[in-house]
Structure 1
Amino acid sequence: VSQLTGLLGQLGQVLSAVPFLILLNGPGWTFAFGSAAALGLLALVLVLALVRDRPDDGAAPVFEPTTLKQTLASIAEVWRRPGTRLGFFSHMGTQFSITVFALLWGVPYLTSAQGLSASTAGALLTVSVASAVASGIVVGVLTGRYPMRRSWLVLAIMISNATMWAIVLALPGPAPLWLLVLLVVVI
């Protein structure tokens, strides 16, 4: 279910970009971002009006207040579990590269450092989303079939990410487009 949710979210990311780009190129930045904000506000209103976090009998949930000391003790207890640390560092090591690239530095890097047009940079980001969808399915199947080999899969992903970045960044000038496609697919 988690993998399916992520997959649908990735597809939604691509599908939502098309109308946003139409608004951005048509009426402009103010209207496009105003529309996105208005949709966010509409979603908030709908959630507040329709979603209830209560049992079916309508009884209000009972919350026991916790102190800061209890909260920190709970965090320390969870952190002592090796699986927690493994999960934390696995996600950090495998996802930070594409997250930073897609959300922050990808377009400036591709347009300024690599000399690509904005549309080509956008196409490469779309390739990265499509790659994430496809690889998510493969990684899900592999981790389901070989749960005791997840650490090896994580290490392979981290090494491949580092290798691709090392190759692209070691070049004296802009990388060829095929190598940039390979970079976004791997990361």
Structure 2
Amino acid sequence: MHSTKLPPARLAWTVWGLGAALYIIGFFQRVAPGVMTAELMSEFTLGAAALGNLSAFYFYSYVAMQIPTGLLADSWGPRRLLTAGAAVAGVGSLCFALADGLFWACAGRLLIGGSVAVAFVAMMKLSSLWMAPRQFALASGMALFLGILGAVFAGTPLRLLVVAYSWRPVMLAASVLPLLVAVAIWIIVRDDPGERGYASYAPKAPSGTPRTGIIEGLRQVFSYRNTWLLLFAPGAVAGSILTFAGLWGVPFLTTHYGLGAPEAAALCSTLLLAWAVGGPVCGGLSDRIGLRKPLYVAGCAVLTAGWAVVILVPALPYAVLVALLIVIGFAAGCMIIGFAFAKESVPAHLAGTAAGVCNMGSMLGPMLLQPAVGWMLDRKWQGAMAGGARIYELSAFRTGFSLMLVWAVLALVCVALTRETGCRQMQ
């Protein structure tokens, strides 16, 4: 006889929280190279293009894992998937910290990206089993907020640790945490509350629901115009934020605004925090007014205008620069609307696939932009060096960052061409 007693909130949030721990680690590792650019360029004798490619190895495997992760969450279960992900993340972090050449550094980044890619889907599956449906949105918002806090720790705190102890010992220490998380997940997490003697919140599948294979599901999802438009749009938002805050913002700010590396890292962290706040605000406001498109268009427009000023206007007053980065970060929160927008733009049985496609699109941005900006920087390099790392002129950064601006304009056009759903799921 199955229990009718629902799981206590403390246990439910603990189970979810251990999945969130891997998500936080993923965000930390995603942007960590941004405060170690000089050290990594000197250590591995890299130009900007090679450094951008090293950082982007995280995104190559992350994007590739988006569709398989949904299948693995169903077949393996969240417990096994999260345990394996955390363990591999630890091995990848260890590989990166001990790398004696570029090959092993790239291999470490590849392992990290592919392993932490499982966190979000597994967390959401746990939420649907362990938490009431009314808490699902809260769990989603908390996931993004906590993830970005992980990215913030990879800003000034990580920079100070790197300055004090060098990058290798710090990253070596960081490799221990995911291994501990893997052990904790295996001991505490269970796929279903029934394994702990509680009732599950999982809804029963309605009769007559189409069973669609992954290839057929993708074919059907891409037959809807909004899917294509909402695939390319978030790449500009996440891509520009993570390319700046996650890699090239610190060298740009230290070289052309005279900031110390910790101060530059703090400013990049401020951009990320504004993004964390903007997401829930934009999502909540969209739900309240019952519309998706207007807020998404407005957010993309503000983001585009903000980057245009930062990139094209030299020597901005510091207060103006800070204000612009905060506004850009907050406007980038419009990206969260895209996930609901994409799900509502296809029939209900394809909603999960559509959300996965949208999430893949968001990671295509940094995957392509980080190395592309680096390639442009190298093309404009004038030969200046400092501490074994290349120094780039303002014109080089302006040319490289123009790629972010071009994609932002294209994203604005894409969102403007979408069809409004009115916050209603297509039947």
The amino acid that maps onto 1:73 is E
Structure 2 counterpart of 1:145: 288
Equivalent residues of 2:156, 2:266 under 8 A apart: no
For residues 168 and 35 of structure 1, what CA distance do their matches in structure 2 show? 36
Structure 2 counterpart of 1:128: 271
Cα 1:27–1:43, aligned 2, differ >3 Å: closer, same or farther?
same
SS in 2 for 1:41: helix
> Matches of residues 71-110 of structure 1 in structure 2 within 5 Å?
71-110=214-253
Cα 1:19–1:125, aligned 2, differ >3 Å: closer, same or farther?
closer
Q: Please report how far the alpha carbon of residue 160 of structure 1 lies from its aligned counterpart in structure 2 after TM superposition.
A: 1.3
SS in 2 for 1:116: coil
Q: Please report how far the alpha carbon of residue 109 of structure 1 lies from its aligned counterpart in structure 2 after TM superposition.
A: 1.9
Q: Please report how far the alpha carbon of residue 104 of structure 1 lies from its aligned counterpart in structure 2 after TM superposition.
A: 1.9
Q: Please report how far the alpha carbon of residue 55 of structure 1 lies from its aligned counterpart in structure 2 after TM superposition.
A: 7.3
SS in 1 for 2:258: coil
Structure 2 counterpart of 1:175: 316
Q: Please report how far the alpha carbon of residue 175 of structure 1 lies from its aligned counterpart in structure 2 after TM superposition.
A: 2.5
SS in 1 for 2:165: coil
For residues 57 and 118 of structure 1, what CA distance do their matches in structure 2 show? 49
1:165 to 2:303 alignment: no
Q: Please report how far the alpha carbon of residue 181 of structure 1 lies from its aligned counterpart in structure 2 after TM superposition.
A: 0.9
Deviations 1:28-80 (A, max 9, x none): 3222111101112222233344434367369xxxxxxxxxxx53322111222
Structure 1 counterpart of 2:166: 28
For residues 110 and 16 of structure 1, what CA distance do their matches in structure 2 show? 17
RMSD: 2.8
1:37 to 2:175 alignment: yes
Structure 2 counterpart of 1:9: 147
For residues 190 and 175 of structure 2, what CA distance do their matches in structure 1 show? 23
TM-score norm. by structure 2 comes to: 0.36
Unaligned runs of 5+ in 2: 1-137, 197-212, 329-427
Equivalent residues of 1:23, 1:31 under 8 A apart: no
The amino acid that maps onto 2:185 is V
Equivalent residues of 2:310, 2:321 under 8 A apart: yes
Deviations 1:108-153 (A, max 9, x none): 22222443221221121221133123322321221111232x2111
For residues 109 and 132 of structure 1, what CA distance do their matches in structure 2 show? 20
The amino acid that maps onto 1:128 is L
Identity %: 32
Equivalent residues of 2:250, 2:261 under 8 A apart: yes
For residues 224 and 157 of structure 2, what CA distance do their matches in structure 1 show? 45
1:116 to 2:254 alignment: no
The count of corresponding residues between Structure 1 and Structure 2 is 174
Equivalent residues of 2:245, 2:269 under 8 A apart: no
Q: Please report how far the alpha carbon of residue 90 of structure 1 lies from its aligned counterpart in structure 2 after TM superposition.
A: 4.2
Instruction: Indicate the larger mover: 96-105 or 45-54.
Output: 45-54
For residues 263 and 310 of structure 2, what CA distance do their matches in structure 1 show? 17
For residues 157 and 81 of structure 1, what CA distance do their matches in structure 2 show? 23
